[in-house]
Chains A and B, each alone.
Chain A
Amino acid sequence: MLSGINLIAVLGLSLLTGFAGLFSFGHAGFMAIGAYSAAICTTILKLPFAVGIAAGGATAAGASWLIGRATLKLKGDYFCIATLGFGEAIRLILDNFQGLGGARGWPGIPPSTTIWNILILDVIGVALLANLVRSRHGRNMIAVREEELAAQVAGIDVFKYKMLALVVSAAYAGVAGSLLAHYMTFIQPKMFSMVKSTELTIIVIFGGLGSISGSVLGAVVLTFLPELLRAVDKWRLVVYGLAVIGIMIGRPRGLMGGFELTPASLRRHFADRKEAKAAKAAQVAEDAELGKDGL
């Protein structure tokens, strides 16, 4: 279940990082905003869960719009530091704002998240993202990621597309945050610290930048694995850290970077294999023929 929730946040981040090429180390902040707004909606305002989720996504998206206006014009690593700063700032503000529980957290949130909610939202999330990426907008984002200057020269409004990626990814994170709040029935700013942001980023990288199916795989694997390896939980992050370095050096594409697992690609893959086998068989037959003539 947890991987389903993580998946939504990861999908969002995948858009921002994998397709638009922007690194955010503060995404947990958006999850936090989503979580707290949803909690406000369901507990204080006594609104239905669906509204809470929508509110979570909307507020996170709104916050990201504000943040984006300030930071998207910055060069690469300045943007990273800025998002890091914002992520931590959000956490600190929540920590100190006693009205929402402060650092001790906010218990008593109705456990409205069920496996069905998560699955439905997962499917919608993936579908939405796939459509976005295949569309003109998605292609523009990829262009920006590959070579910003060229994209600009080609007439793409770089700022607008970066902002689009940011807002959508923040909305996803916000929804994920609301789901998390209603799954854990308890939220605490500590849950949305830089550690969480980094975990999300690691999943995206592991799954492969620029691949939705990669992010799905990554989210599932990397959320399940710790559960299975609970005994050696301490070492989980150690391994993650090394794995990230290793991935960067060895296989920066991650698990499925740039490739997607779709019926079409599977068919193509197997067709290629069949073709290759056929070609090889023909080659062998030919060689045998030539050999028979005693050459």
Chain B
Amino acid sequence: MAQFLQQMVNGLSIGSVYALMAVGYSLVYSVMNFSNFAHGGVIMFGAYFGFFGITLLKLPFPAAFVLAFVGTAILAVLIERIAYKPLRERKAPFLYFIISAMGASIFLENIIIATIGPTFRTYPDVFGRSSIALGPVAVGRLDLIMFAVSAVCLTGLVLFVEKTRMGRAIQASAYNMKAAALMGVNTDRVVMIVFAIGGMLAGIAGVFFGMKYTVYPQIGNITTKSFVAAVFGGLGSLPGAVLGSILLGIIETLVAGYLSSQFRDLIAFVILIGVLVFRPTGIMGKTTEDKA
């Protein structure tokens, strides 16, 4: 039983990281209506920003952390301006967006490989390896902090979207961009802010991922899992993305623990296929145009 709880805790902790990734991705999808494949690259850059903040610039962790997510927010907006905005203005078919996103993600991944090199790097131990015992389970301090920060971020995001004017503007644009523009919403600014938020969350997720595992250029491929999580929870629904991610994290850890660690990545795809075949709108997805 203790082992089961332990696995659940592990699952929750990785799930919260997935949640950060998936929410950023889902937010962009809900407003722009396309899958931002470059999201993974931004996450990866976050990990690197944080890493170099600590090692190269010798910043204390909080400063490096802030550097990381500010950096990724800027990066995300840059990507939007360069790779997507021209297409948006020309009302290009969404297929072009996806190709452009792919191009951006390839570029991001390989610019790191070409300049800094593909070696894996490990974050220096910032929080210490000791774990805190909560009853029969041992929770790593890193995991606890990851979970807490994720919770804070996500609550902050929900409050932002629900209570602020800009948040409502985002909701309006997500619902119908043209109508929102007619109502006087500066949709260009909304897009920029949405990407910035997505980038910020990606940066945080990247730093945590790098801390929990290692830093390497292919982190971007983790995005596939966050896609799965977002689709699982329902694309376009933020609570859904969170729910999907946590569930994915838990299921993944349980499968790895009880069945075999080799199936760990595979199970994500099994879930994806299952969702797409049986319930494409996911658990809490918004039912827009037909997806099936």
The B-contacting residues of A in range 194-223, CB under 8 angstroms, are 194, 198, 201-202, 205
- Chain B interface residue number, banded: 35 or more
Is A198 a contact partner of B98 (Cβ separation < 8 A)? no
Quick check: is B103 within 8 A (CB to CB) of the other chain? yes
| Chain A residue at minimal CB-CB distance from B104 | A245
Is B103 a contact partner of A235 (Cβ separation < 8 A)? no
Is B92 a contact partner of A88 (Cβ separation < 8 A)? no
A35-74 contact mask (Cβ, 8 Å, vs B): 1 or 0 = 0000000000000000000000000000000000011011
Question: B103 touches which one: A25, A70, A76, A241 (CB < 8 A)?
Answer: A241
Is A238 a contact partner of B111 (Cβ separation < 8 A)? yes
| Chain B residue at minimal CB-CB distance from A252 | B96
Complex: A21 Cα to B35 Cα, angstroms:
17
| Chain A residue at minimal CB-CB distance from B106 | A241
Is B86 a contact partner of A242 (Cβ separation < 8 A)? no
Quick check: is B276 within 8 A (CB to CB) of the other chain? yes
Quick check: is A234 within 8 A (CB to CB) of the other chain? yes
The B-contacting residues of A in range 240-254, CB under 8 angstroms, are 240-245, 247-249, 252
Is A77 a contact partner of B103 (Cβ separation < 8 A)? no
Contacts A78-B231, A78-B276, A84-B224 hold; do A245 and B82 have CB atoms under 8 A apart? Answer: yes
Residues on A with C-beta less than 8 A from B273 are: 70, 82, 85-86, 89
Quick check: is A131 within 8 A (CB to CB) of the other chain? no
Is A241 a contact partner of B107 (Cβ separation < 8 A)? yes
Quick check: is B262 within 8 A (CB to CB) of the other chain? yes
Is A248 a contact partner of B228 (Cβ separation < 8 A)? no
- Report the 9 A-B pairs with minimum CB-CB distance, sorted nearest first: A241-B107, A244-B103, A241-B106, A237-B110, A234-B114, A89-B269, A245-B103, A248-B100, A238-B110
- Chain B interface residues toward A at CB < 8 A: 34-35, 82-83, 86-87, 92, 94-96, 98-100, 102-111, 113-114, 221, 224, 227-228, 231, 262-263, 265-266, 269-270, 272-273, 276-277, 280, 289-292
